[in-house]
Amino acid sequence: MYDTLYRGIISSSIFKTGSIYTEFGNGMYNDHHYHYGYFITASAMLKHLDPNWSRMPELERIIWTMLRDVVNPSAEDKYFPRFRHFSWYLGHSYSHGVTSIDNGKDEESTSEDINFFYGMTLWGRVTGKKAVEDLGSLMLRLDAHAIRTYFLLKSDNTIHPPEIVRNHVTGIFFDNKVYYNTWFLDEKYAIHGIQMIPVSPINELARTSTFVEQEWNDILSKEPIVVEVNTTITWLSLLLVNAARVNPMESLRNLKNATMDNGLSRSWALYNAATRCRDDVDVNTAAVQLTVKV
């Protein structure tokens, strides 16, 4: 529904439940770039594959409205503010909405942030809107640079103190502090895993090979769910797709039996893991060896 106070598209569930926290606080403008990015990216792929789908005009109206809600560039648009979530000064988005919080605004899931601008770029391309594609590409590259600098930390990072750098991710990045945790689960596999969703090749723009290797060797490879190959915890599937860039064959083997994250299919996980392999791994051979029954 459209909210006339802050001029945006919000979930009606805030009025049905009476809670500002329902749907991650969507009604208070939390996480719009995270959540709407899934719709935009998927819709861009659908339009590329089936541009003549009977409901495409209806879908296009929805996607353009979502884009205006998050990244409207026009000062003349009376219905949406300009760049609701993005800070051009800092080079990244904020996920927190209109409620006050002691330590200032924050950003947590950098990969979902990246996914939004990826989807925006793709949508501009498939709809033939060059200006939208170019703006999305610019924001994508700027966002990825900020994430590599402030959020995903290689061992030579000089922005944060050594006590923070050794974690390799900041966790929740507030204006006034970083908090090595998540909003929902105090486990390392979640603190790191939230920086990997959704699984997508575009994540490599922020998650460099050097970073992935250091994060895996220093932290994730030692996590109990990885050491024990605990296939009952769905976060393992995300960690294994990521680990394929470091230890491809073992990661692919373990993915065969891992319980998939509820936003990840096994076929998509295996495809991404196999195509992210190092140059010295033959993908065709790996595919034959790791064939699973669908």
List, by residue number, the catalytic residues.
31, 108, 112
CA distance 219 to 135: 36
Which single residue is written with the structure tokens 């922005």? 159
Count other Cβ atoms within 10 Å, centred on residue 144.
25
Strand pairing class (8-9; 172-174):
unpaired
Q: Quick one: which of 279, 255, 278 has its CA closest to 267?
A: 255
Q: Quick one: which of 142, 137, 111 has its CA closest to 125?
A: 137
Which residues, other chains included, contact 15 with Cβ-Cβ below 8 Å and sequence gap of 6+?
A: 27
**Residues β-bridged to residue 178:** 173
Q: Which two tokens stand for residue 1?
A: 């529904």
The CB-side HSE value for 171 (13 A sphere, CA atoms) comes to 19
Give yes or no for a contact between 127 and 43, defined as CB atoms under 8 angstroms apart.
Answer: no
Question: What is the Cα 226 distance to its own chain's centre?
Answer: 22
CA distance 120 to 115: 9
Q: What percentage of the chain's residues is helix, strand, coil (to nearest 5)?
A: 50, 5, 45
CA distance 280 to 250: 14
> 95-117 as b/e, with b when 16 or more CB fall inside 10 Å?
bbbeeeeeeebbbbbbbbbbbbb
